[in-house]
Chain A
Amino acid sequence: MTDPAPRPAAGPQPIGGTGESPLLTMRGVGKAFGPTVALDDVALSLQRGEVRALIGENGAGKSTLVKILAGAIRPDAGEMSLGGVPFRPSGPLGARRAGIAMIYQELNIAPHLTVAENILLGGERHTAGWLRTGGQMERVRGALARLQRPDIRPEASASTLRPAARQLVEIARALVQEARVLVMDEPTSSLGAADIDHLFTVIDGLSAEGIGIIYISHFLEEVRRVADTFTVLRDGRVTGEGRTADVTLDELVTRMIGRRLEEMFPKVPHERGEAILELGELGGERLPVDASLTLHRGEIVGIAGLVGSGRTELLRVLFGLDPIRQGSVRLATFAGRKLDPHRSLLGGMGLASEDRKEEGLAVDRSIAENTTLSRLGGLHRLGFIRLGAERRTVWNWMKRLSIKARDPGAPVRSLSGGNQQKVALARLLHHGVEVFLLDEPTRGIDVGSKAQIYRLIGELATAEKAILVVSSSMTELIGVCDRIAVMRRGRLGPFRPVDEWDEHALTVSAVGGEGARV
């Protein structure tokens, strides 16, 4: 595939005429967990072929609502109907059989099975427990054809697929199982621009077939591109509902957070100081190929580019997590030559990983342990940690970054995405890092936390720290950075001041005018 199929000028119109009953309705849905009210009198309807965006900050109740739909949680109040008949799923299996399919943020793929086996998983046809072979490949091929990806071979091992293709395999699974309602939770969070375009083409195709789609996303620009209608949740209540064509981005944000968009990117004045980090033609095992840059104190530098262009790899090689193949890294605050994570941190360079759950944080351990892990110095006496001092220190950071948790001893798993990210940043702050490498610092977190993190980044620059930000959100890079360069196929383009960039220029630069990758 060289270029995503051109999108129709307007998304397919919902078929919901006056006489037709909606595909799905939820009415008066309520749910409380102990004293916390997660949902209160929530209503939502979906026509055949409608793409409805469900938006709201983390903790607004989106996932609870979707879990109720998927049969994973039983509501305290309210009723649902699917295809005109009352819908009371007995559990996840019941909901699936009724035609509700979920595509979760964490992709559910068995890497050791083939694509076909993954697609048929849970929907295998069998005779007395023996798998039927006849006609199965046709089912798989049919589903893949509807996703317009004939290049994904059914017999390929799922482990060889890239995230975008894995996601399509999951959608194919839903198609094989004849889903009527498809729920997608942050489907684009790990995709590059070309894959996102393709996904939207697929969504258009599915909605034209009459499948109803509930689309959860933090990317409001995307929501406006792909969805026909929207429902905004805030604190478990519906605070907005309507057609995406009739609403501005600003209005959506205001309904989500109750404040305005300009407040998202607070301008914190800062001044560029001396150079602190220099990369000379840095190359890794595979990526990046060639990256040179100079980072100064009191400066926020952004790196844009597609997922897979080598942005994350650049940070990893530079921090010492991956081996250096060629070129040099010079850190003004570190005298030694070869860098590994231990030495990088000694030299005052810290990395916040793009993958909070798998790499960034030990999610089963406490906030306190995660915060102090890289620097227990000052908190121990003769190798023995002073737990009281640790708790007090961490509590201060929690207050400083407004991390919402009852106690420094609470496991990180129990926090929302935004608060988890703040713990990852608290660790860097506690360590006293001078050079901040931030990989997707706001991925998958709520708008309120985003604004706080943007302000923090600005304040760090004021305090003469150096910040290198990698992000897939062009808006974000333009909003916070002083200089931006685009990475493409492992090569870092020239840095230009932020006022010489706009989102269009960044995108063109990222795809390089060569069309989209496959």
Chain B
Amino acid sequence: MTEAPLPLEADMVSRPLWRLGVTSLAPFLGMLLVAVIFTILSPKGLTWDTPRYVLTHTVAVGLAACGMSYVIISGGIDLSVGSIIALSSVSGALVLHDGHGITLALLASVLTGLCCGLYNGVLINLFRLPPFIATLGTMGFYRGLAKWFSGSSAVRPERENLKGIDEWMLPSPVELNAPSFLGFSVGVWILVGVTIVMAAMLRYSLLGRYTLAIGSNEATARLCGIRIGRTKLLIYALAGLLAGLAGLMMFARLTEGDPTSAFGLELDVIAAVVIGGASLSGGQGSVLGAFGGALLMAFLRNRCTAMGLPSYVQEIIVGHIIIIAVAVDQLRVARSRS
């Protein structure tokens, strides 16, 4: 009964690869379109430096979006990432301020994020709080902690105590003799690495498969013996951990641990994930898409600044990009179902 007959691959209709890629490619195609439009509108500002600036500005949101993808695909939401970023950038700053090395600062930030994420997960599991409410609460909690630990003002380590971490987030590291690879700084490569690993995990790992299953139908996942609580805890912990890493990157860029930084950034992170094709009701989404979404928003901001447009124009445009992205996705889904 359990012995399966020999595989007969020849009978299997295989799915064209391009169809698998469409979902995650959409934001990139969108960006290409926006790039073309902006190049036509204002070709002057666009140089080979633009990608470096854009990517550098994507790092914090992009890292947090990798974790947020898992949360949203599992059918949850994490409103506390902005506060986690602020808190972990403060804790990283405090470690460096006390004269410790980069490794310890990295550890401090990441562990801070991990603890925050675990706390979110525990609240959601133990008290059956809806993720929206639990993380709305911890959003204030972590922000409060950040202000407490920093004494309500930005923590600014001495120049020599930075130990070169400020060079991690330079848009043009080569010109400044900072560590770089192919012209991009350390921070950009961290983002690229994390994105690839997280994207692969979603598709190929048990955690990824379980995340999709829980988001698609939690009752089914339970029926199949998946430990829902454990998996969710892991998902929120992972999101916290990556927000912690994003916090350190934020610090590296600003060279100060500002407890009021990253205010409202959770909305940018969620927007990136949604532009990337994730459904807020869970069950679908992609990490590469979220990366593309973050990139698209950073690119728009960069272009608007280069064209000298006031910040409200950026906000109007970015707001509509989110709306258009989701509307297009809805149309696509509606068509595929009919």
- A interface residues (Cβ-Cβ under 8 A, vs B): 321, 341-346, 351, 353, 358-365, 369-370, 373-374, 376, 380, 383-385, 387, 391-393, 395-397, 399-400, 406-409, 413, 427, 429, 432, 459-460, 463, 465
Pairwise interchain contact B217-A396, C-beta atoms closer than 8 A: no
Question: Could you list some 21 contacts between A and B, CB below 8 A?
Answer: A321-B222, A342-B227, A344-B225, A345-B224, A345-B225, A351-B223, A359-B223, A363-B216, A364-B217, A364-B283, A365-B216, A373-B224, A380-B206, A383-B205, A385-B209, A392-B12, A395-B8, A395-B9, A399-B5, A399-B8, A413-B337
Q: Return B88 CB to nearest CB of chain A, in Å.
A: 27
Pairwise interchain contact B15-A362, C-beta atoms closer than 8 A: no
Pairwise interchain contact B12-A427, C-beta atoms closer than 8 A: no
| Inter-chain pairs besides A362-B216, A364-B284, A407-B15, 17 sampled, C-beta below 8 Å | A341-B222, A359-B217, A360-B220, A364-B283, A365-B213, A365-B283, A370-B220, A373-B213, A384-B200, A385-B203, A387-B203, A392-B12, A395-B8, A400-B5, A409-B15, A427-B224, A465-B1
Which chain B residue lies CB-closest to A407? B13
- Per-residue 0/1 for B243-271: is the Cβ within 8 Å of any A Cβ (1 yes, 0 no)? 00000000000000000000000000000
Residues on B with beta carbons closer than 8 Å to the beta carbon of A409: 15
Residues on A with beta carbons closer than 8 Å to the beta carbon of B225: 341-346, 374
Q: Is B7 an interface residue (CB 8 A)?
A: yes
Pairwise interchain contact B337-A373, C-beta atoms closer than 8 A: no
Which chain B residue lies CB-closest to A361? B220
Pairwise interchain contact A393-B4, C-beta atoms closer than 8 A: yes
Q: Is B295 an interface residue (CB 8 A)?
A: no
Residues on A with beta carbons closer than 8 Å to the beta carbon of B306: none
Which chain A residue lies CB-closest to B215? A362
> With A362-B283, A407-B13, A408-B12 known to touch, is A341 a contact of B4 (CB < 8 Å)?
no
Pairwise interchain contact B12-A395, C-beta atoms closer than 8 A: yes
> With A400-B5, A413-B337 known to touch, is A391 a contact of B12 (CB < 8 Å)?
yes
Pairwise interchain contact A342-B226, C-beta atoms closer than 8 A: yes
A463 to B13, alpha carbons, bound, how many Å?
A: 31
Pairwise interchain contact A385-B223, C-beta atoms closer than 8 A: no
Q: Return A391 CB to nearest CB of chain B, in Å.
A: 7
Residues on B with beta carbons closer than 8 Å to the beta carbon of A427: 224
Q: Is B2 an interface residue (CB 8 A)?
A: yes
Residues on B with beta carbons closer than 8 Å to the beta carbon of A363: 216-217
Residues on B with beta carbons closer than 8 Å to the beta carbon of A358: 217, 219
Residues on A with beta carbons closer than 8 Å to the beta carbon of B2: 429, 432
Pairwise interchain contact B206-A463, C-beta atoms closer than 8 A: no
Pairwise interchain contact B223-A360, C-beta atoms closer than 8 A: yes
Residues on A with beta carbons closer than 8 Å to the beta carbon of B209: 369, 373, 376, 385
Pairwise interchain contact A353-B15, C-beta atoms closer than 8 A: no
Q: Return B211 CB to nearest CB of chain A, in Å.
A: 11
Which chain A residue lies CB-closest to B1? A463
Q: Return A43 CB to nearest CB of chain B, in Å.
A: 27
Pairwise interchain contact B12-A361, C-beta atoms closer than 8 A: no
Q: Is B93 an interface residue (CB 8 A)?
A: no
Residues on B with beta carbons closer than 8 Å to the beta carbon of A370: 220
Q: Is B221 an interface residue (CB 8 A)?
A: yes
Q: Return B30 CB to nearest CB of chain A, in Å.
A: 23
What are the 7 tightest A-B residue pairs by CB atom distance, in nearest-first order?
A: A374-B224, A362-B216, A345-B225, A362-B217, A359-B219, A463-B1, A342-B225
Q: Is B11 an interface residue (CB 8 A)?
A: yes
Give the residue among A364, A369, A391 with the most B Cβ atoms within 10 A.
Answer: A364
Pairwise interchain contact A395-B14, C-beta atoms closer than 8 A: no
Q: Is B94 an interface residue (CB 8 A)?
A: no
Q: Return A420 CB to nearest CB of chain B, in Å.
A: 12
Pairwise interchain contact A353-B223, C-beta atoms closer than 8 A: yes
Which chain B residue lies CB-closest to A389? B7
Q: Return B336 CB to nearest CB of chain A, in Å.
A: 9
Residues on B with beta carbons closer than 8 Å to the beta carbon of A463: 1
* Interface residue total, chain B, C-beta cutoff 8 A: 35
Residues on A with beta carbons closer than 8 Å to the beta carbon of B200: 384
Which chain B residue lies CB-closest to A376? B206
Pairwise interchain contact A407-B14, C-beta atoms closer than 8 A: yes
Residues on A with beta carbons closer than 8 Å to the beta carbon of B207: 383
Q: Is B212 an interface residue (CB 8 A)?
A: yes
Q: Is B312 an interface residue (CB 8 A)?
A: no
Q: Is B127 an interface residue (CB 8 A)?
A: no
Give the residue among A351, A374, A432 with the most B Cβ atoms within 10 A.
Answer: A374
Give the residue among B14, B216, B223, B283 with the most A Cβ atoms within 10 A.
Answer: B223
Q: Return A374 CB to nearest CB of chain B, in Å.
A: 4
Which chain A residue lies CB-closest to B217? A362
A386 to B224, alpha carbons, bound, how many Å?
A: 19
Residues on B with beta carbons closer than 8 Å to the beta carbon of A373: 209, 213, 220-221, 224, 226
Which chain A residue lies CB-closest to B283? A364
- Per-residue 0/1 for B1-32: is the Cβ within 8 Å of any A Cβ (1 yes, 0 no)? 11011011101111100000000000000000
> With A396-B4, A396-B7 known to touch, is A362 a contact of B221 (CB < 8 Å)?
yes
A362 to B217, alpha carbons, bound, how many Å?
A: 5
A236 to B9, alpha carbons, bound, how many Å?
A: 32
Pairwise interchain contact B1-A359, C-beta atoms closer than 8 A: no
Q: Return A382 CB to nearest CB of chain B, in Å.
A: 9
A465 to B216, alpha carbons, bound, how many Å?
A: 31
Pairwise interchain contact A369-B213, C-beta atoms closer than 8 A: yes
Which chain B residue lies CB-closest to A387? B204
Residues on B with beta carbons closer than 8 Å to the beta carbon of A364: 216-217, 283-284
A249 to B97, alpha carbons, bound, how many Å?
A: 86
A399 to B11, alpha carbons, bound, how many Å?
A: 10
- Per-residue 0/1 for B113-137: is the Cβ within 8 Å of any A Cβ (1 yes, 0 no)? 0000000000000000000000000
Which chain A residue lies CB-closest to B279? A364
Which chain A residue lies CB-closest to B4? A396
A358 to B221, alpha carbons, bound, how many Å?
A: 11
Residues on B with beta carbons closer than 8 Å to the beta carbon of A380: 206
Residues on A with beta carbons closer than 8 Å to the beta carbon of B227: 342
288-338 of chain B: CB within 8 A of chain A? 337
A373 to B225, alpha carbons, bound, how many Å?
A: 9
Q: Return B218 CB to nearest CB of chain A, in Å.
A: 9
Give the residue among B2, B200, B204, B225 with the most A Cβ atoms within 10 A.
Answer: B225
Q: Return B13 CB to nearest CB of chain A, in Å.
A: 5
Q: Return A440 CB to nearest CB of chain B, in Å.
A: 14
Pairwise interchain contact A365-B212, C-beta atoms closer than 8 A: yes
Which chain A residue lies CB-closest to B212? A365
Which chain B residue lies CB-closest to A353? B223
Q: Return B285 CB to nearest CB of chain A, in Å.
A: 12
185-233 of chain B: CB within 8 A of chain A? 200, 203-207, 209, 212-213, 216-217, 219-227
Which chain B residue lies CB-closest to A408? B12
Residues on A with beta carbons closer than 8 Å to the beta carbon of B213: 362, 365, 369, 373
Pairwise interchain contact B226-A384, C-beta atoms closer than 8 A: no
Which chain B residue lies CB-closest to A465? B1
Q: Return B90 CB to nearest CB of chain A, in Å.
A: 34
A343 to B11, alpha carbons, bound, how many Å?
A: 36
Pairwise interchain contact B206-A383, C-beta atoms closer than 8 A: yes
A377 to B205, alpha carbons, bound, how many Å?
A: 12
Residues on B with beta carbons closer than 8 Å to the beta carbon of A374: 223-226
